[in-house]
Amino acid sequence: MARFLDILVLELKRRLRDPVSLVTWLAIPFFMVTVMVLVFGPSGSTGLPQMKVLLVDHDDGFLSQALTSALDSPQLAEYFDVRKVDEQTARHEMDRGKASLLVIIPAGFTRGFFDNAPLTIQVFRNPQESILPQIGEEVVTFLADSGGLLRSVLQPLTAGVVDLGSDKRPTLSQVTDLSSRIYKLFDNPTVRNLTAFDRLEVKERHPDQKKVTRSDVVGWFAPGIVALALLFLTNGQSQEIQEDLTSGRLVRAWTSATPPAVPVAAKCTALVLSASFSTILLVGALAAALGWRPGNPGLVAAQIFATAAAFSGLALLLRSLTRNPEAGGAAASGVMVGLGFLGGCFVPVIFLPSFVQTVADVVPTGWAVKGFLILEGATWAGSGGGLGWRIAALLATAVASFLLAARLMRRKAEAV
Amino acid sequence: MERLLEVSHLVKTYAERRAVDDLSFAVDEGEIYGLLGPNGAGKTTTIKVLTGILPPTAGGVKVAGYDPFGEPLKAKAELGWVGQETSLYEDLTAAENLNLACALTRVPRSEVRSRVAELLEAIGLADRARERVSSFSGGMKRRLHLAVALVHRPRLLLLDEPLVGVDPQARAHLIDAIESLARDGRAVLLTTHDMDDAQRLCGRVGIIDNGKLLAEGTVAELQASLGERDLLRLEGEFDNGPAPALPPELGAEVLSAHPGELLVSVDSGSEALPRVLAAAESGGRSVTRVTLERPTLETLFLKLTGRELRD
């Protein structure tokens, strides 16, 4: 054990003294934080970028105006900049990428609502954007679903006034009857809640989260950023071990009277510790700059360590399959970018196709990202179990990868 | 005198190729043994087997009585290896490189400080102990590289082409160091493709080519195997045709005939030269330069393989 510690200390010294490595350690996390601050604004600012929505209202009825009001409500106005335009202008502006979302409410929408007819709201997304239009579509879908629910509640009560939209003038008794029904209808607390659009929440499906806030969005992306930083760091720093092999330094260690596993374990531990340390810096910077709250510090540290270990093992395994550090770097980068995408490092998995969401549960990057999400208490992270098995799976990946990598490197040493 | 290295009928094959082919030799304490051969002869492969990095296909190896594959830690504790490239940690200081080597070779902690200081003094780097290796010259790195292999005081040293690419000053320093190690009772096995290094340093030499040991003995014994004969090296405008017919009474032997060069072994160079020259120039050949040489290990290698060491 004393030998192991001696070697480990010298390995850590090496990493601290390598200026490129040191700059990489510090620069990558802070670069990522800077990018996030540029995207989301610094802590305390209003945060989320506002989404430009074009609304074409061919109906101009009570319900279409209600939908417009909902999008324009104080709660959603922080996120949506809604502008009513004619269809030609709307399509022209969408073609020029001037808006994230185009919503077209067809003529006869209000009438069809009371007639219980099938209704369609057309939503066009800006293909050049990915996340904001997706969020917008989700909101509109939710409002439409709420409308459908509202209709099913209203239908029995409005059955007698379905000809309200016809040309025939209603009689005084009909108007009185209708007023009475509407009064009774809105006197019902359930209906009152449903029609109070300013109470609608984007995240209604998760009752414990009342509203999408800036910190929610930071929470969506921060775990992926942390996992991505670890992918970069471990890939870059594993190069030193591959260079130790190709330059003969590791071979020399293997000709000494120390069990071959000791120097390899010391080098791998130095790699994991340095990557973990760097990631803790990143998490601290994210917390300070963006107000991210990653959760219980002890568990976060455990998750960081397990992730760093798994990614280091994978990076080293990929490098042990290649001939030289340049080829190793290219191979590891390619595979890790793919794993990063599948695990939700670049885009939260909820915005990805369902098969990717399934894959995310079986790849180390997915375990890493979801582990951080669980720690920060993001209920939208979905099902799939808890933190414990993910940390265990990451550690198992680390052990298996390191063992296999060491074996492959040992075989490669014969050719050095 | 203890036998510190014993190689018997060693074979190492890669797919169809026999890199080492039934190689046997031994090195005793206080002896410098040279494995002399061209690049690709199997010298480095042999060293890798001796260090326990590369398992042999057949045959056996004993390092101070231990099998590097049966009792690896005991065998490795007895040997120090210096590879062709200086495998030092450039971002660590000279002292730290030696400390790391001490950790790897299980030098008792209480002795590390004195051992490192002693070695730094011996290689003339005591005043630069705290400087990073990346700032060292090639010669300084070579000296430190040798010191790293010595921290645990091994009884057997395996030096793989230790003098390649070394400047004259560092070369002289390394040669002194190697001779000093042998005087201290250590056994040294060095590989080289340089005949001068082998003649200068080695008590015994094994000539190796294509993985086979072609000849073995002291430098004097090997030179004597060529007889007290002279060598005539003729250079000129020769083609690829057959070697010229030399008068039989000269007892001359054509060792090699290449375009532009002919190497002939004769009893007496000065007596045979006019007739060898006449024979060489017959048939339209033109000799532009003649050299009279004494036989060397390179001559022996040439005689054994028909090729020069540098080929």
Report the chain A residue with the minimal C-alpha distance to residue B54. Answer: A414
Are the Cβ atoms of A254 and B85 closer than 8 angstroms? Answer: no
Q: What is the pLDDT of residue A2?
A: 75
Interhelix angle A214-246/A297-320, nearest 10 degrees? 40
The reported pLDDT for the residue numbered B76 is 92
**Whole-number pLDDT of residue B255:** 79
Tell me the three state secondary structure of residue A82.
strand
The answer to whether B9 and B24 are in contact (CB under 8 A) is yes
Instruction: Give the span between the Cα atoms of B291 and B311, in whole angstroms.
Output: 20
Residues B155 and B182: beta-carbon distance below 8 Å: no
List residues in chain B touching A: CB distance below 8 A. 48, 51-54, 73-74, 76-77, 79, 81, 83, 85, 87-89, 91-92, 96, 99-101, 103-106, 109, 132, 148, 152
Q: Calculate mean pLDDT across residues A62-68.
A: 76
Query: Alpha helices, DSSP H only, in A41-86?
Result: 62-71, 74-77
Domain ranges for chain B, please list them. 3-222, 228-294
Of A45-49, A283-287, B229-233, B291-295, least confident by mean pLDDT is A45-49
* Alpha-carbon gap: A17 to the closest alpha carbon of chain B (Å): 7
Report the pLDDT value the prediction gives residue B95, as an integer from 0 to 100: 95
Q: Say what angle helices B94-104 and B138-148 make with each other, to 10 degrees.
A: 20
Q: What share of chain A is helix, strand, coil (3-state, %, to 5)?
A: 70, 5, 25
Q: What's the mean pLDDT in A38-49?
A: 55
**pLDDT for the residue numbered B156:** 94
pLDDT at A376: 79
What value of ipTM does the predicted structure carry?
0.78
B3-222 and B228-294 in the same fold: no
Among the four given CATH numbers 3.40.50, 3.90.380, 3.30.70, 3.30.420, the one describing domain B228-294: 3.30.70
CB A278 within 8 A of CB A25: yes
* pLDDT above 90 as % of chain A: 11
Q: Are B123 and B116 in contact (CB under 8 A)?
A: no
φ/ψ of residue B260, rounded to 5: 90, -5
- Provide the 3-class DSSP secondary structure of residue A291: coil
Residues of A in contact with B87 (CB under 8 A): 247-249, 251-252
Neighbour count for residue A204 (Cβ, 10 Å): 14
Per-residue pLDDT, A358: 84
Asked if A10's CB is within 8 angstroms of B148's CB, the reply is: no
Q: Please give the full DSSP string across chain B, using - where no structure is assigned.
A: --EEEEEEEEEEEETTEEEEEEEEEEEETT-EEEEE--TTSSHHHHHHHHTTSS--SEEEEEETTB-TTTSHHHHHHTEEEE-SS----TTSBHHHHHHHHHHHTT--HHHHHHHHHHHHHHTT-GGGTTSBGGGS-HHHHHHHHHHHTTTT--SEEEEESTTTT--HHHHHHHHHHHHHHHHTT-EEEEEES-HHHHHHH-SEEEEEETTEEEEEEEHHHHHHTT-S-EEEEEEEE--SSPPPPPPGGGT-EEEEEETTEEEEEES-HHHHHHHHHHHHHGGG-EEEEEEEE---HHHHHHHHHSS-TT-
Name the nearest CA neighbour of A32 among A284, A406, A306: A284
Structure confidence at residue B24 (pLDDT): 93
Residue matched to tokens 């399959």: A321
User: Could you tell me which of A328, A248, A238 has the C-alpha nearest to residue A275?
Assistant: A238
CA A230, distance to chain mean position in Å, is: 16
Express each pLDDT in A337-371 by its tens digit: 888 888 888 777 777 777 888 888 899 999 998 88
Residue A196 CA to residue A70 CA, distance in Å, equals 9
Give Cβ neighbours of residue A92 (< 8 Å, ≥ 6 apart).
none
| 3-class state of residue A125 by DSSP | strand
Answer with the residue of higher pLDDT: A316 or A144.
A316
Q: From A197, A278, A200, select the one nearest A235 (Cα to Cα).
A: A278
pLDDT over 80 at B110, yes or no = yes
Cβ <8 Å between B87 and A18: no
Q: Which of A40-44, A56-60, A276-280, A305-309 has the lowest mean pLDDT?
A: A40-44
Tell me the nearest-neighbour CA distance from A259 into chain B, angstroms. 7
Query: Is B99 in contact with A10 (CB distance < 8 Å)?
Result: yes
Residue B237, number of CB atoms within 10 A of its CB: 11
CA distance A205 to A142: 9
Residues with Cβ within 8 Å of residue A338, at least 6 apart in sequence: none
* Segment A297-303 long-range contacts (CB within 8 Å, at least 24 positions apart): A299/A375, A299/A387, A300/A372, A300/A375, A301/A276, A302/A391, A303/A368, A303/A371, A303/A372, A303/A375, A303/A387, A303/A390, A303/A391
How many A×B Cβ pairs under 8 Å? 75
- Architecture field, domain B3-222: 3-Layer(aba) Sandwich (3.40)
Residue B60 has pLDDT above 70, yes or no: yes
Structure tokens given for B221: 């014994």
Q: How far apart are CA B166 and CA B169, in angstroms?
A: 8
Q: What is the pLDDT of residues A384-396, one digit of tens each?
A: 458 888 999 999 9
DSSP state of A168: S
Which residue stretches of A321-381 are H helix? 325-343, 354-359, 364-376
How far apart, in whole angstroms, are the C-alpha atoms of residue B80 and residue B261? 42
What's the CA gap between A303 and A309, in Å, rounded? 10
Dihedral (Cα; B94, B99, B105, B106), 10-degree rounding: 170
A105, A93 contact by CB (below 8 A): no
Distance between terminal CA atoms of chain B? 37
Closest approach of A267 to chain B, Cα-based (Å): 12
Write down the pLDDT at residue A25. Answer: 59
Q: Which residues on chain B are in Cβ contact (under 8 Å) with A18?
A: 91
Percent of chain B predicted with pLDDT > 90: 42
Total count of residues recorded for chain A: 416
Residue range B284-311, pLDDT digits in tens = 778 888 888 877 777 777 777 777 665 5
The residues on A that touch B, with CB distances below 8 Å, are 2-3, 6-7, 10, 13-14, 17-18, 247-249, 251-259, 263, 413-414
Domains of chain A: 2-43+213-413 (no CATH), 51-199 (3.40.1710)
Residue whose C-alpha is closest to residue B158's, from B33, B300, B310, B19: B33
Q: How far is CA B239 from CA A153, B81, B236, B286, in A?
A: 108, 46, 9, 10
Which one-letter DSSP state was computed for residue A378?
A: -
Task: Count CB atoms within 10 A of the CB of residue A205.
Answer: 12
Other Cβ atoms less than 10 A from the Cβ of B9: the count is: 12
Q: Are B215 and B41 in contact (CB under 8 A)?
A: no
The verdict on a CB contact (< 8 Å) between A18 and B53 is no
Are the beta carbons of A257 and B152 separated by less than 8 Å?
Answer: yes
Task: For A154-177, write each residue's pLDDT tens digit.
Answer: 666 666 554 554 455 556 666 666
